[in-house]
Structure 1
Amino acid sequence: MKNPFKKYSLPVTLFISFIAISAVLIALLGATSYYITTREVVDETISSRVLLLGEINKQIDYQLQAIEYDALVVASNPTIRQYLEEPEQSFDRIRQNDEVIDLLSRYSYVKHAIHSVQLYANNSTGNVYRGANGIFSRAFIDHSPTYPEIEHTDAAWLGTHALEVGDYLSMPEPVISYYRKVWSASGKELGILVFNMKLASMNELISADAVDGSRYVVDARQRLIVEAHPAGAEAPDYETIRSDLATTLQDRSVDHRVTVHEDGKQLLIWREQPRTQWVVMDRIPWDRITEGSRQIQQTIVLTIVLCVLLAIGMAWLLAGQFAVPIRRLVRVMAKLKGGKMDSRVANEYENEFGYLNQHFNTMADEIEGLIRQVNLENQQKREAELKVLQEQMNPHFLYNTLDTMNWHAISIGATEISHMLSLLGKMMRIGLSSGKAFITVAAEAEHLGCYVELQKIRCKGRIDFRIDIDESLQPYAIPKITLQPLVENAIIHGFHSRREGRIVITGRQQGELMKLSVQDNGYGFSPDNRRDSSSQHGLHNVRERIRLYYGPQYGLDIQSEPNVSTVVTLTLPLVRESGDDRRLQEGEESDHD
């Protein structure tokens, strides 16, 4: 399927796109608003319930600590310890039975939350009790299914269970029990003291406020201790969430809240008591929490419909406004493509359309300027070629004249003059080069050698010349008469009024480039004190010829330090082909890239 943005007209595409995007954004905004509202209600509910459950936890823990303290007091009572250390049938122990039972019963009479207190003696086989309070045989606990939970600890809370003591006392009322071992002064275990707490007192703690959901208190093993439900509401079964709750509570990275699913979505909020690891939780139906959010949802849906209708009108208007400047720009681009280089866009915009129009006009100006520059450079190149041709014609006449002078010098025995004329003639012959603009590095080195020999004769050995060009560069082509102006410049401007000096000409290959350098130890110059323009005429001509032939990325680099040295380095491409047309073509392409 073809991309609709590439198929349909711009106004239609913009109109449909704007409607689609607006509808999606408005729908997302409505959904986000509903979600945020619901989230705020839920978060507010959670925050308030977490604080409430924290207070309930504090009250429950206060009650539990009070019972633990009472148990500690009883277990540390010298009368209890002495009673348990006496043999079961001793007179003192029998005499103290009523006194110990009174001591135990006092807590159930005085403390509203305490149901009963029981003492299980290690050395007792019989049972002495008054109601649910009394002294019982340790065997009852040892055979109890809950004994493994307290076997290896000094004190522990056990969850809800029926109060049952052997065959002598059986009561259906469930209690919560606190077990504490009784020790002698020497560290011997004497028995186990049990404080039984009424579930009714726990109900009073968790039912003090009206709740809109179910509330549970479970022990560390997720066993139900007590529960409360709204008046007239059906009581949900705790066992339906017990397995999920146990798995969740085992993950300590989970926060104090989680949502679970049953017949309907429920919000479960809990707080754990760190000391006892008991958990107080509320389970609230999700519909009851989000009742207010559903009314907001209806308002949001109506608002979305109105916004979409408004967006349709705005989309049609904006589509037309966007199409006008783009169509205008396209028309002007077509004119420019057709060769009308003075075509420009009337820019009346200050936004992105103005940016496009302005940069299009700037681009058109630059293209027009580049065309003029190319035409100018082509004209300069043709003039340079004509100038070279004219210079080649003059050496041809001079070459014939020098040959006549050489034979005359030989006839009169002027050998030094004859040698100089031969060198000059060879330079003219290489310079003429059958009209070619390029010669090999070997021919250029030969031409330079002739010039150096002439300078040695003129300077009478005051200047030391050394030519060191790699053999690997010999077959490559360069513009003719390139090195000689550099050496001439070094002699004239580096050693004027000096008695001696040294000039080193080197050539090296570096990858796909050749580096030719001329170094002298003459006067040099500082960057702030360049030589005058007339003295740089030869270097300027060499630089321009290289730029025209090869492009602006090649040329001359001059490094000079006053009274130390000057190094002129040529950077040229490695080209084996010697055709002038190919050189010029490469120069034009590289210059215009």
Structure 2
Amino acid sequence: MKRILQAVKESRLHTKLLSTYIFLLAVTILVLSFSDYQLSRRTVLEMAKKDVFTIVKKNNEILDAKFSRIREMIYGFTEDADFYDAFSHLHPANRTEVLTADLRIKGILDKYFAQSQDLYSVQVATSYFIFGTASSANSEHAKNFIPMQGFSDTEISRIARRGSGKTEWVPTYDFAEMYRVPYLKDMDYDYKYLFSAVSMIQGTYFKGTFRAYSDMQDKPILILNFKDSLFSGVFAGSIPVSGSTYFVVDGTGRVVSHPDRSLLAKPIDLPALQELMNTKNGVRMLDIGGKKQVVAFSRSEITGWLSLAVIPPGELLEPVIRQYVRNLIVSVGLITLLFISLSFFLSRTITLPLRNMIRAFVNTGEGRFDTRFEETGSYEFKVLMKKYNDMNENIRKLIQENYETHIREQEAEIKALNLQLDPHFMYNTLNMVSLMSLEKGESEISEVVVSLSNMLKHMVKTEAAVVRFKDDLTYLEGYVTIMSKRFEGAIRVEYEIDPGMLEDEVPKFFLQPIVENAFVHGFKRLKKDGVLRISCYENGDRRVFRIEDNGSGMDNAKRVDLLQGERHVGLSNVNRRIRILYGEPYGLTIESAPGEGTAVSVTLPLSGRLGGTA
């Protein structure tokens, strides 16, 4: 280090200045970069936490909507008069009656549950028979798997009876353990893990408009079984962050849904589980497995289960850090290059005059007078430079002339640039006028200026003959806004637009002349209660765009003149353009009568969507 300092001390003035600038630059960049990184890290992490929480909450709302729908189907089934009628004449000891009732109950189950794609199977269990074992409810997944013997002694039966008619949600369980089927314990089968909704049928139902009661000694239990795919179908791809885990637990911490199937129906060690359950929704930084993790959670209002997304903070920040490092390297490189260039320039402003002065005196001694000094620096330098400049007056005049010529060239270049009017200058100017109008409370002027800006953008955007209907509609809406302001609220404009037609190809500006004709001629004498309706729809193999007004209307001769006459360029031009583009069957038709308004219909063939921006 001592040797380096000694070398710098003995170096040239230019080297000392350059070293000082580089050192100050490095210190400044390091301090500012560290501060900016910390701020960016905190900001990005907070934004990412909010985004993850929003995703988890929305997914939980989707699940609750599914569960709510299932609960409604359960309520409907448990109050079905046909179901109670099937049980009222049933003798459990009569096998024929039981099988007949089974067929009838299958049909009732289908009526309520066949349309639900979330159900795995639906059955009604009693102490003597499991009804619906071959139910076609959601037949793609229906399974005949609940054992008939010993169902009353299972935990799922006890849960249903404790509910006394309420819908109870049974967290994911091992089928072999729940129904005590040991030979399935080590097998991998389709319904190894299930979660269920159960409800004990109490016996009250509606018969006509009156509530009736059926005294059933053996109260049946409705069982709806679901696979974990109900959750995974909602969660799939919702948080595309490497290392993230999306799972569901019940109030005791037992896993209801998890990407790792080996964890299903097992308790999981989750810090502050009770606090999360009580909070219901939110996002926390928790220590899980010795590592800080971002945990977004939301509790179901239906089942009471907790949906959680666990994400390592580093995975959220990694893309940002990579981008930040790349930007930092580029920025540091550019700033370093700039500062080094600046240091060279500043150092040379001090050392170069001395060198130039030495060379100038040598040149003067040798009779060369092609060097000139600006009179700057200390008094001594000025005296020497003045004497030198006095001997080179002619050179000074030449330099002055070159300088003035250079200035004139710059002025000419600036004028040339000013004449290159970019359309964006016009848009920016209109936007500025709009903002100024808003600041002065002139909202109507601002609205008109914005509409004009949008129209101008569309006019210069493309020279294509056809555009997207969405873009042409934007232009038309701007025109309608301006014309509506002109009539000072006397006209109400209604839009009935088929969203599926917004990406269709249409001739550019094909509706504006029709709307203009309605404003200029149809509403010419109208003072109030004017209505202009703009609609579009598909009719068979055609698209129909219809402009209707309740203006003054016209007679048949006027209608013919509008479409074929030479004096009315707008509508006849649109009609000719459509027929050139699409053929004779398509074009404009006018329905009108004096005093009864006018309806102009434009028919176009069905077309494909534009692949890019028109």
| TM more than 0.5 | no
State the TM-score, normalizing by the size of structure 1.
0.39
TM-score by length of 2: 0.38
